[in-house]
A and B are shown apart, each in its own frame.
Chain A
Amino acid sequence: MEGKAFPKKIKKEEPTVIDSLNHLPRPNQNHASLAEHFSDLAPPLTDRQAVLEASRCLYCYDAPCVNACPSEIDIPSFIRNIHQENVQGAAQKILSANILGGSCARVCPTEILCQQACVRNNHQECAPVLIGLLQRYAVDHAEFQQHPFQRAASTGKRIAVVGAGPAGLSCAHRLAWHGHDVVIFEAREKAGGLNEYGIAKYKLVDDFAQREVDFVLQIGGIEIRHGQVLGDNLSLAELQQQFDAVFLGLGLNTVRQLGLASEGAPGMLAATEYIRELRQADDLTTLPVADRCIVLGAGNTAIDMAVQMARLGARDVNLVYRRGVEDMGATEHEQHIAKENQVRLLTWAQPEEVLLDDQGRVCGMRFARTHMCDGRLQPTGETFELAADAIFKAIGQAFDDSALSDSSGQQLARDGERIRVDEQLRTSLPGVYAGGDCTQLGQDLTVQAVQHGKLAAEAMHAHLMLNVEAA
């Protein structure tokens, strides 16, 4: 696996921010005042708030919150530890189930997971326990003298993990814990996946994602090689030959297309591209801002994009969705954030044409109004136009097929475009496992990816050690 050339461009077909939006103005505020708009959306709990909130937990048995947590964190136990001023114990309990418990505490849509299930999420009980913030409190305040998990004796097994996102990191950590040696192959310059490149800046602030990666690697036995792109300078067949097992945590690396003419025109960009640029920017004043912009989509990424553009100073941010509010993927909590940031929501309208000015740049979009007719989404025949300096697509990401272009990759069974796995995260190829967003199993959430990585590691470990004993 000697170093091959660093690929020049990771996504060849998608325009970069600079290419697409360079003609737009920059924010008319200085970096410090802009940065204030990107500080913690939900401020951390103080000591007193944490103890008060912890005391609200009823310490349920067979607790609904645990059943609702994709990574099966023992929530009543860690909250009881917080209340008994055992913050280290609380953090270790969380991290033993979810090594990325710090970022999950920040980015999980708790309102549809643990906090929705909380028995106190009942008007008689006022409000659910703030589980996400308590988890963050525990992980942030724990001070471990050394990494809280000690590696088992070396097994001599070497495992390849492709992708240093939440699934890959979780898998690698659990494998290292069991005594295996792990090499992570990562395409980008930094590890962390969407935590580093894809989460709204105000949800995961400063360099938390990198600090968390450092914490994961503290366990030892994990090497990360950057600039390694499956399907480009790396092939699945090679990995199968050189390692005892392979885990694919590839994520979703392409953006869905609208299928309209001029989709590549200046001013038209994937929301994920912009968010990545925003998260990596040391100086927010260098970012192009679309004073009037349109965000297409209805998921949490669409909300993240719209809100961040509003916070950068855009005056007119329109979120346009082809169906109704009740069909939106974004949670009510996310929709509320959008409203608080003066994002205008337009429903029942689908893009019909990208409008260009005489220089060929985006100047607006024409939409067809829609309605449900015989159970299908249909245009009503009516159209309208919205002026915009930029249009951000947040209509979903798709699996990038080019990663599996080699002979082994082509043999992998699929569920639609994604990789088929069973409940032990096994693909159709022996010794090859997969998890996270590149599989169809479960929801497309960070916490789900962490759980996949963990379960895959356990399955790989059980399988590899079974063979050792048999030999």
Chain B
Amino acid sequence: MADLSIEFAGIKAPNPFWLASAPPTDKAYNVVRAYQAGWGGVVWKTLGEDPAAVNVSSRYSAHYGVNREVMGINNIELITDRSLEINLREITQVKKDWPDRALIVSLMVPCVEESWKAILPLVEATGADGIELNFGCPHGMPERGMGAAVGQVPEYVEQVTRWCKTYCSLPVIVKLTPNITDIRQSARAAHRGGADAVSLINTINSITSVDLERMVANPIVGDMSTHGGYCGSAVKPIALNMVAEIARDPATHGLPICGIGGIGSWRDAAEFVALGCGAVQVCTAAMLHGFRIVDEMKDGLSRWMDSQGYRSLQEFQGRAVGHTTDWKYLDINYQVVAKIDQAACISCGRCHIACEDTSHQAIANLKQADGSHRYEVIDAECVGCNLCQITCPVQDCIEMVPQDTGKPFLDWLHDPRNPYREAS
């Protein structure tokens, strides 16, 4: 079996599956259960200055798919609501009992040097493997000048990172908020401040739904609500993009990235690794199913790696980064055309109506003598958009087949149709 062990920003772990800083890592009881279940590491739920935060009830709401599967969870919970002293004592004991597992402590204190200078030695004394700076929490804490209020200002990110590197010898992971316009600015700032790694994404500002009878958004506190932070499988595409943006940015080249955002299966994890991550963090999937999910994640990942001949994560880490580029560098002469496997087609007509109403009228609806329908691609009209394949309920029924156009590679920068093309 492939070796899943990693060394990420100097932190060793038996596997790349870590639990993110969140309710599942709130206290020793949960963390010990997570280690027992086989998690490679844990980011302890964010510590802050005493007095501890106070939470409201209720705290979560969800966005559902058609079968009531949870697509995403929104939360308005704050950082730890337990005292610093209790947390530090538990961290010390857990790390002592589980020396082979990664234990990272998430931190959030006011954006003043003295606060960081005070807390960092206390954390280091626990024996923890590293710290993660919570610059992302989008609710509650920013109103107090912390969390996303710091993460949204690159100068603050850089400054706090530098304080941490000054007053602490542990690896510093800077957790980035996605509630910005260009994630690279935050990553570059962390890099300038001396960060050993970045982790992303934190949660996204969200309102999941509105109770139309009470006319208040969810989750409801009394008869009011507030925006929360969104996570779960629905945010994975956003997270993957932000990871890729940082991975291919020359300014942050080589900066270790810990992927977070909608990871619930080994395949999700492998995708983050392929886009450059050296470890991943999981929260929502564990909150929905319990810690046991790590079993299938580890087993699936190592079997897939075996099937591909990868002996370690490093062997495929970042392999997809080189294939991610700006639109202007794509081959404008590349052409795919949809092909329907008539033997697999169940004649639901979804590809036809999608293409007919909203795309390029490239799928003919041919009524057969027996009253049934046959759907056929009109090759000349197909632009290769993939919509039919997306709407088709049958896996592998519609294939997008590359065409031999006989034309050479041509990107938009050199395309004669581009009025601003570069001179060749």
Query: Counting CB contacts under 8 A, is A382 at the interface?
Result: no
With A and B bound together, what is the CA distance between A52 and B66 in angstroms? 9
Whether B66 and A119, one on each chain, are in contact in the complex, defined by CB atoms closer than 8 angstroms, is no
Q: Are A60 and B348 in contact (CB under 8 A)?
A: yes
* Interface contact A62-B349, CB-CB below 8 Å: yes
**B66 CB contacts on chain A under 8 angstroms:** 55, 83
Query: Cβ of B353 and Cβ of A61 under 8 Å apart?
Result: yes
Please measure, in the bound complex, the distance between the C-alpha atom of A125 and the C-alpha atom of B348, giving whole angstroms. Answer: 12
Quick check: is B350 within 8 A (CB to CB) of the other chain?
yes
Chain B min CB distance to A313 (Å): 44
Question: Chain A nearest CB: distance from B355 CB in Å?
Answer: 10
Answer yes or no: B250 CB below 8 A from chain A CBs.
no
Which of B67, B68, B373, B393 sits near A62, CB closer than 8 Å? B373
Q: Interface readout for A354-373 with B: 1 if CB under 8 Å, 0 if not?
A: 00000000000000000000
CB–CB B67/A52 < 8 A: yes
In chain A, what residue has the closest Cβ to B372? A64
Residues 359-394 of chain B: 1 if any A CB is under 8 Å from the residue's CB, otherwise 0? 000000100000111000000000000000000011
- Tell me the complex Cα distance, A52–B67, Å: 7
Could you tell me if A61 and B394 are in contact, using CB atoms closer than 8 angstroms?
no
Contact A61 B349 (CB under 8 A): yes
* B67 adjacent to A119 (CB under 8 Å): no
A63 is contacted by which of B344, B349, B393 (Cβ under 8 Å)? B349
Are A60 and B350 neighbours in the complex by a CB distance under 8 Å? Answer: yes
Nearest chain B residue, comparing its CB with the CB of A122: B346
**1/0 per position for B330-352, CB-CB distance to A under 8 A?**
00000000000000101111101
Q: CB of A124 within 8 A of chain B? A: yes
Interface string of A63-80 (1 = CB under 8 A from B): 110010000000000000
Q: What distance in Å separates the Cβ of A74 from its nearest Cβ neighbour in chain B?
A: 14
A292 to chain B, nearest CB (A): 45
CA distance A250 to B68 in the complex (A): 49
Closest residue of chain B to A125, judged by CB?
B346
- 8 Å CB contact of A119 from B68, B346, B353, B371: B346
A215 at the interface (CB under 8 A from B): no
When distances are taken between beta carbons in the complex, the residues of chain A under 8 Å from B347 are 60, 64, 119
By beta carbon, the residue of chain B nearest A84 is: B66
Nearest chain B residue, comparing its CB with the CB of A120: B346
The answer on a CB contact under 8 Å between B348 and A124 is no
A60 neighbours in B (Cβ, 8 Å): 347-350
A58 CB-CB contact with B under 8 Å: yes
A125 to B394, CA, bound (A): 9
Asked, given contacts A64-B372, A64-B373, whether A58 binds B348 with beta carbons under 8 Å apart, the answer is yes
Does A384 touch B at the CB level, under 8 Å? no
Evaluate contact between A61 and B346: CB separation under 8 angstroms. no
Number of interface residues of A (CB under 8 A): 17
Chain B residues within 8 Å of chain A by Cβ, number:
17
Query: Please, how many angstroms separate the alpha-carbon atoms of A364 and B391 in the complex?
Result: 62
Chain A nearest CB from B337 CB (Å) reads 21
**Residue interface mask B122-144, A partner, CB < 8 A = 1:** 00000000000000000000000
Q: How far is the CA of A125 from the CA of B68 in the complex (A)?
A: 20
Knowing A52-B67, A83-B66, A124-B394, the reply to whether A58 touches B373 (Cβ < 8 A) is no
Q: Is A208 an interface residue (CB 8 A)?
A: no
CB within 8 Å for A59 and B373 given contacts A52-B67, A83-B66, A124-B394? no
Closest Cβ–Cβ distance, residue B2 to chain A (whole Å): 33
The distance in angstroms between the C-alpha atoms of A125 and B392, with both chains bound, is 13
Q: Determine the distance from Cα of A60 to Cα of B391 in the docked complex, in whole angstroms.
A: 11
> A residues 89-134 with Cβ under 8 Å of B?
119-120, 122, 124-125
- Contact B350–A59 (Cβ < 8 Å): yes
A52 to chain B, nearest CB (A): 7
Q: How does the 8 Å CB contact mask read for B377-413 relative to A, with 1 for contact and 0 for none?
A: 0000000000000000110000000000000000000
Q: For chain B, residues 311 to 347, give those with C-beta under 8 angstroms from any C-beta of chain A.
A: 344, 346-347
Q: Is the CB of A58 within 8 A of B350?
A: yes
Task: Output the nearest chain A residue to B373 by Cβ-Cβ distance.
Answer: A62
* Option from A55, A63, A122, A125 in Cβ contact (under 8 Å) with B67: A55
Contacts of B346 in A (CB 8 A): 119-120, 122, 124-125
- A61 near B67: Cβ-Cβ < 8 Å: no
* C-alpha spacing A64/B371, complex, angstroms: 9
Q: Is the CB of B371 within 8 A of A58?
A: no
Contacts of A52 in B (CB 8 A): 67
Q: How far is the CB of B396 from chain A (nearest CB, A)?
A: 11
Residues of B within 8 A of A83 (CB): 66
Q: How far is the CB of A418 from chain B (nearest CB, A)?
A: 25
With contacts A58-B393, A62-B365 taken as known, whether A67 is within 8 angstroms of B371 at the C-beta atoms is yes
Closest CB in chain B relative to A46 CB, distance in Å: 15
Closest chain A residue to B345 by CB distance?
Answer: A119
A61 touches B352 (CB 8 A): yes
Contact pick for B350, options A61, A64, A67, CB 8 Å: A61
A122 to B397, CA, bound (A): 14
Assembly CA distance A62 to B350 (angstroms): 9
- Residues of chain B within 8 A (CB-CB) of A125 are 346
- Cα of A60 to Cα of B350 in the assembled complex, Å: 6
The minimal Cβ–Cβ distance linking B380 to chain A, given in whole angstroms, is 22
A82 CB to closest chain B CB, in angstroms?
Answer: 12
Q: Which residues of B contact A67 (CB under 8 A)?
A: 371
Tell me which residues across on chain A come within 8 A of B372, comparing CB atoms. Answer: 64
Residues of A122-162 whose CB lies within 8 A of B: 122, 124-125
**Which residues of chain A are near B373, meaning CB under 8 Å?**
62, 64
B359 to chain A: closest CB distance in Å? 14
Nearest-neighbour CB distance to chain A for B358, whole angstroms, equals 12
User: What is the distance, in angstroms, from A124's C-beta to the closest C-beta of chain B?
Assistant: 7
Contacting residues, chain A, for B352 (C-beta < 8 A): 61-62
Residues of B within 8 A of A120 (CB): 346
Distance in angstroms from A121 CB to nearest chain B CB is 9
A59 to B392, CA, bound (A): 11
- Which residue among B67, B346, B372, B394 has the maximum number of chain A CB atoms within 10 Å of its CB? B346
A63 to chain B minimum Cβ distance, whole angstroms, is 7
CB-CB under 8 A from A51, the residues of chain B are 68
Residues of B within 8 A of A55 (CB): 66-67
CB distance from A326 to the nearest CB of B (A): 20
Set of chain A residues within 8 Å of B371, measured between Cβ atoms: 67
**Min distance, Cβ A240 to any Cβ of chain B, angstroms:** 38
Further contacts, 11 of them, CB under 8 A, given A52-B67, A60-B350: A51-B68, A55-B66, A58-B350, A58-B393, A60-B348, A61-B348, A62-B352, A62-B365, A62-B373, A119-B346, A125-B346
Q: Which 7 A-B residue pairs are closest in the complex by CB-CB distance? A: A61-B349, A61-B353, A119-B346, A60-B348, A119-B348, A58-B348, A55-B67
**What are 13 A-B residue pairs whose CB atoms fall within 8 Å in the complex?**
A55-B67, A58-B350, A58-B393, A61-B352, A61-B353, A61-B365, A62-B353, A62-B373, A64-B347, A119-B346, A122-B346, A124-B346, A124-B394
Residues of A near any B CB (own CB < 8 A): 51-52, 55, 58-64, 67, 83, 119-120, 122, 124-125
